[in-house]
Amino acid sequence: MALSFEGRVVLVTGSGGGLGREYALAFAERGASVVVNDLGADIKGGGKSSAAADKVVEEIRAKGGKAVANYDSVEDGEKVIQSALDAFGRIVVMYLTPSLLSHPISDLIHRVHLRGAFFVTRAAWSHMKKQKFGRIIMTASAAGIYGNFGQANYSAAKLGMLGLSNTLAIEGRNYNIHCNTLAPVAGSRLTETVMTPELVASLKPEYVAPMVLWLCHEQCQENGALFEAGAGWIGKLRWERSQGCVVRQKNQPMTPEAVRDQWDKICDFTDATKPTSVQGQYNPLGQKLPPSTFVFSPTQCILYALGVG
Ligand code: NAI
């Protein structure tokens, strides 16, 4: 049966263009009420215009869909979420896609990508908890997963979003709130300056959108995962850990030489394990930190991350 989003309220941030626009159109086509958030920023994050979001809203409405525009920056998470609540009374799915590829002031990159994702999610969290349903997709980037020359600030912010997603996945699962992360690749104003026209044509945003819709659907039980998608291809990523070895001898001091001498073994991925939780981190030594060490509410995490708590 076709996947329907009838009755769902979907917020797609940065959906005045590129990937976000495609997602907004796809959600609307399947019955969702869509909040098209876009600041109308230029590629460096400067400027402001309502035109981008308005145009997408018009496109959706012209096809008989339901959509409203919101022009706030994702840095104003409360305002973005409030506009969804004002228009449609609730919020169930969020796809977080604002973009800035690089910026001389790295703070802006972090404010938009990482803290923007954080503030929008925080503002929606209690609503999602109350209704016991939510789907959140964070947009990461291969630059964050693997690193990319010249993109230090962007990479850091993008992988920060994965960390945020991983914890929200744990804190949300008892409320049927799922959070996953996607590193897309698609032709857009971001990438067309570095891709050939042929490549841009083969990497249409519409070849990523179906993956986003599936992850956001109530039938999809995936939570806390990381995917890459582009050109119609989709793959899942996970962590791998070598068996490692204990380099310390009983009642002996631990030395850097011992680390050096066991280096091949430490880095040998034969029989690697695939840890999936922070508790599992201590399993090789048969030790566990008490679970309470890891219990933070989202608010505490926020305050801690901002250095206020
Ligand atoms: P795009 O530049 O075509 O679209 C992004 C939209 O975000 C723009 O319309 C812009 O006005 C809006 N925006 C910028 N700052 C904002 C803010 N503070 N608040 C609200 N909206 C804001 O970019 P594209 O290619 O569609 O990228 C979407 C997301 O995917 C971004 O997060 C990007 O980093 C990520 N990504 C894209 C890749 C690609 O191949 N296109 C590769 C890896 C990641």
Output the CA 47–ligand 1 centroid distance in Å.
14
Quick: pLDDT tens for 90-115: 888 886 777 666 655 568 888 999 99
Helix axes 116-131, 298-306, angle to 10 degrees: 170
Residue whose CA is at the smallest distance from ligand 1 atom 19: 73
pLDDT at 45: 78
pLDDT at 90: 85
If asked whether residues 14 and 124 sit together in one domain, one would say yes
Output the CA 43–ligand 1 centroid distance in Å.
8
Substitution site in 15, 19, 113 for ligand 1 pocket (most atoms within 8 Å of beta carbon): 19
- DSSP H helices, 149-243, are 152-172, 197-202, 209-216
Q: Which helix (H) or strand (E) holds 68?
A: strand 66-70
If asked whether residues 146 and 24 sit together in one domain, one would say yes
If asked whether residues 165 and 261 sit together in one domain, one would say no
What's the distance, Cα to Cα, between the start and end of the chain in Å? 48
pLDDT at 94: 83
**Cα 244 off chain centre by:** 31
If asked whether residues 227 and 267 sit together in one domain, one would say no
**Cα 294 off chain centre by:** 21
pLDDT at 282: 52
For residue 13, the domain's CATH number is 3.40.50.720
Helix (H, G, I), strand (E, B) or coil at 256: helix
Q: Does residue 192 form part of some domain?
A: yes
Q: 211 and 226 in contact (C-beta within 8 Å)?
A: no
Torsion of CA 151, 48, 62, 186, to 10 degrees: -10
pLDDT under 50 in the chain at which residues?
288-309
pLDDT at 193: 86
Helix (H, G, I), strand (E, B) or coil at 235: strand
Q: Match 């083969």 to its residue by tokens.
A: 202
ipTM of the complex: 0.97
Q: 222 and 137 in contact (C-beta within 8 Å)?
A: no
**Is the beta carbon of 108 within 6 A of some atom in ligand 1?**
no
If asked whether residues 160 and 78 sit together in one domain, one would say yes
Output the CA 232–ligand 1 centroid distance in Å.
19
If asked whether residues 219 and 262 sit together in one domain, one would say no
Antiparallel, parallel or unpaired: β 233-237 and 226-230? antiparallel
Quick: pLDDT tens for 148-164: 998 889 999 999 999 99
Residue whose CA is at the smallest distance from ligand 1 atom 31: 99
| Domain carrying residue 100 | 9-237
CB environment 102-136: b (16+ within 10 A), e (fewer): bbeeeebbbbbbbbbbbbbbbbbbebbbeeebbbb
Q: Does residue 121 form part of some domain?
A: yes
If asked whether residues 193 and 90 sit together in one domain, one would say yes
Domain edge (last residue) among 185, 204, 237: 237
